[in-house]
Amino acid sequence: MSYETLIVETRGNVGLVTLNRPQALNALNSTVLKELKEAYAAFHADETVGAIVLTGSERAFAAGADIKEMQPLQFADIYKSDFISGWDEVAKARKPVIAAVSGFALGGGCELAMMCDFIIASETAKFGQPEITLGVIPGMGGSQRLTRAVGKAKAMDLILTGRMMDAAEAERSGLVSRVVASERLIDEALAAAEKIASLSRPSVMMAKEAVNRAFETTLEEGLRFERRLFHSLFATDDQKEGMAAFVEKRKPAFTHR
């Protein structure tokens, strides 16, 4: 399949998606959304792919939403069409997605990075939700996911002022998992994704579900949900293989069943 706004590759057992609108600093528009959903669907259907890496260019992961596309829209139109709700599908990817961020990740770009399961950033990365400077607020989850990641005080600071934070501040705040040298960014992200892809697919997917549930429910219900998933994994071949391999001091050969 050919893409207008993405470069889509497979590296080993990892799907690699690169945002490719250099003339617009990878600004997100309806075409990017459509193609990203198609790329994710293809990787989810490919049983050899165990994880996905999403990245942009060295200058910009994604500098925001495409303002030229949004500027003429009217309330009635965007309300009736439930404008930008399609991005929720991207956030619901079942296989793990790692954001590899270099340069600007602003507005929708920051929100897209937060839709991923974790973020690896280069030293040049800059994050922000500057929508307030345009007379609007974040609309793709920024006020919700950023607050969950960094806490109320930091989220209020960033969203109300529209300022950017660098990679070091983002890591201290808990938004970013780790910061690496720019020239190592893709290699580090691919290595992390390949490690995930080497593990039991059912276990990985359930682990992702369990962590995400922590932000959606009470502790009591979250613990109950975790236990149910934990118990269910004892019905898999991979649990038998993984524990046998540990006892026998060998590397497990997971079949993802």
Q: Return the active site residues.
A: 65, 108, 111, 131
d(CA 107, CA 169): 17
Q: The tokens 């960094």 sit on which residue?
A: 150
Measured in whole angstroms, the distance separating CA 18 from the mean position of its chain's CA atoms is 13
14-92-44-105 Cα dihedral, nearest 10 degrees: -40
Q: Strand pairing of 14-19 and 51-55?
A: parallel
d(CA 80, CA 54): 30
Q: What length does the chain have?
A: 257
- Four-residue CA torsion sign, 19, 158, 77, 84: positive
Is residue 75 helix, strand or coil?
A: helix
For 120, residues 6+ apart whose C-beta sits below 8 A from its C-beta are 98, 99, 100, 101, 176, 177, 178, 179, 180, 185, 188, 189, 192
Kindly report the three-state secondary structure assignment for every residue of 165-215.
Answer: EEHHHHHHHCCCCEEECHHHHHHHHHHHHHHHHCCCHHHHHHHHHHHHHCC
Check if the beta carbon of residue 175 is closer than 8 Å to that of residue 119: yes
